[in-house]
Amino acid sequence: MTEADPNGVCGKVVAITGAGRGIGAATARLLAARGAPVVLGSRGEQALASTADAIMANGGQVAYQRIDVTRPEDLSALVDLAVQRFGRLDVLASIAGVAINAQLKSGELDDWNQMIDVNLRGVLHGIAAALPIFRSQGAGHFITVGSTAAAKWVPGQAVYAATKSAVRALCDVLRQELAPEGLRCTLVTPGFTDTDFISSTRDPGELAALTARRDAIAMSPEVVADAIVFAVAQPNSVDVGEIVVRPTVQP
């Protein structure tokens, strides 16, 4: 953070997973506009390149590469790219996630495992990759996107809610363990957001219900990006443990 930067963002190097679209892309654009060099990772190479091109067109500093958060080596490569390109890593924003809504009676074991692999193991892979860098620097900030599904459980979201509940527990324990070293951990918990969140749901009834709800109440990904940037902007002496942001009408 520089003295001339009232937002506390300029110059902070931020790596972002799930950066090709939705909350990840919105966060990347906003951080870059505030002067943060951003390092983007996502499975969708075309969307990732499009996000990076938009940032470069606006004068932002950006590096990117295709990653799959279920592969630990890909997270290590993303962290390495940040250090090689910009000399350090200040923030790892774990935003990649997947939701495949269906009641448990569907027995879709592959879908359950995919959510566990992306939503939980993907976060753990990021921690394993970035924590040694943060400890060697004596500074660093984990930001993880959770979900209000961790606090309100509804039919059709059992496994998704279970993964996000696990992430919530993980982040709070991580915060406690890192505090003595001056490292930070923030959980950003959004409610219904207008992203591709519902696109993996195949059950017609679930998809219809989610689509109707999205069209009625969903907030924009830029709202969640604002919350993430707020946490990033805080001085190293301040750790924002959790931010919950949801549409006003969402119960």
The active-site residue, picked from 86, 142, 160, 192, is: 160
Quote the pLDDT of residue 31.
98
Has 64 been annotated as catalytic? no
Domains along the chain? 14-245 (3.40.50.720)
pLDDT in tens, 57-80: 999 999 999 999 999 999 999 999
For residue 133, the one-letter residue type is I
Q: Which residues pair with 144 in a beta bridge?
A: 94, 187
**Segment (H or E) for 143:** strand 141-145
| pLDDT tens, residue by residue, 10-25 | 999 999 999 999 999 9
pLDDT of residue 6: 52
Q: How far apart are CA 233 and CA 126, in angstroms?
A: 21
Considering the entire predicted model, what is its pTM? 0.93
Nearest to 71, CA basis, from 144, 146, 113, 126: 126
Judge whether 21 and 46 are in contact, CB under 8 Å.
no
CB 225 within 8 Å of CB 195: no
Low-confidence ranges of the chain (pLDDT < 70): 1-6
